[in-house]
Amino acid sequence: MSPASRTNKKISEYSLSIVTGGSSGIGKTVIERILKVESGSRICNISRTKPPLFFNDTNTQHLECDLSSRKDRATALSRLLNLLNDEEDKGPILLVNNAGFGLYDTVSAKPSSEHLELLEVNIAALVDITVTLLPILKKRGGSIINIASTSAFQATPYLASYGASKSFVLNWTLALNEEFRNTNINALAVCPGPTRTNFFRRAGLTQRVIPDGYSSSSEEVVEATFKALAKGKSLVTTGLKSKLVSAFSSRLPKTLGTRLAGKIINKYRPAK
Ligand SMILES: NC(=O)c1ccc[n+]([C@@H]2O[C@H](COP(=O)([O-])OP(=O)(O)OC[C@H]3O[C@@H](n4cnc5c(N)ncnc54)[C@H](OP(=O)(O)O)[C@@H]3O)[C@@H](O)[C@H]2O)c1
């Protein structure tokens, strides 16, 4: 892949896709989308549960891994490196760091172990996997898609660790893409607003608290993601409402933005 093809990237150009968290929600839809474009695509998924679409064929590989565990990550990454080493087709790679979860509540309501588990999955695993794969990406060319969130654009009281983790993902991805300007690697930060997946249940909320009329399907998020990748963008906020709300909140003074975000997020906290 030449440096010029940092833009105009099509799914069919990648010889292998590596997805984290492909067992449900946005990650599962990413896999569905790749298989829809190229039914025989080679995909490697990293999560605790096997994606429902994975059968025992040679093109799909599931690496079972709890991404919050450094030991599990080391084992999965070593298996992944062996797999990459054994490949005949050494074409470009698509890496989609999607796995992540949120914690809704006051900071003090959760033990530090839960905050640290979130930081391991949302930040440490993403950095670990990306940095480990960079030497191979440099040789083969490719793209990195990191799933951040609109929570990245301001401080998020009652979702404090989650929002801050997504600010890291957003800024780290933008910096990475800039460092790789004029090379055969590009990085795209995706910032979805509320999306109808298992995310809210996992974060301790019930489905009914997802704001009506302000949520997208995972298909809409993935559609916007691959459009942005094809255009060579480094950042995409998916959905018109999310774009407008994020544009507004990023322009507010930091303290006022935090106050407003806290008032809104507090409404969606589980009733005690
Ligand atoms: N839904 C939203 O409103 C929304 C909005 C903005 C951004 N996002 C981001 O989108 C990404 C995908 O979330 P989603 O909405 O699709 O939620 P989801 O349906 O709950 O999917 C989360 C995925 O992450 C994986 N995962 C979570 N913890 C893991 C761990 N310890 N080890 C390995 N894999 C783990 C899960 O796999 P296993 O359980 O099988 O391990 C699952 O496949 C996340 O990064 C999330 O922060 C979501």
* Cβ 110 under 6 angstroms from ligand 1: no
Domain ranges of the chain: 9-267
> Which CATH homologous superfamily contains domain 9-267?
NAD(P)-binding Rossmann-like Domain (3.40.50.720)
In tens, the pLDDT along 90-100 reads 999 999 999 99
Whole-model pTM? Answer: 0.95
Q: Find how far residue 178's CA is from the centre of its chain.
A: 19
* Cβ 45 under 6 angstroms from ligand 1: no
* Cβ 156 under 6 angstroms from ligand 1: no
The C-alpha R_g of the chain, in whole angstroms, comes to 18
* Cβ 147 under 6 angstroms from ligand 1: yes
Residues contacting 1, CB < 8 A, separation 6+:
13, 91, 92, 140, 141, 142, 184
pLDDT over threshold 60, residue 7: no
In tens, the pLDDT along 134-158 reads 999 999 999 999 999 999 999 999 9
Helix (H) or strand (E) holding 146: strand 142-147
- What are the CB-based long-range contacts (under 8 Å, 24+) for 51-60? 51/22, 51/23, 51/27, 52/23, 52/28, 53/28
* Cβ 177 under 6 angstroms from ligand 1: no
How much distance in Å is there from the Cα of 42 to the middle of ligand 1?
Answer: 21
216 within 8 A of 179, measured Cβ to Cβ = no
Q: Amino acid identity, residue 66?
A: D
Q: Determine what percent of the chain is predicted with pLDDT higher than 70.
A: 92
How confident is the model at residue 4, as a pLDDT?
A: 41
Rounded to 10 degrees, the C-alpha dihedral 166/172/174/178 comes to 180
**Which ligand 1 atom is nearest residue 122's CA?**
45
Strand partners, 145: 96, 188
Nearest CA to 98 out of 62, 39, 144, 142 is that of: 144
CA angle 205, 215, 104 (to 5 degrees): 25
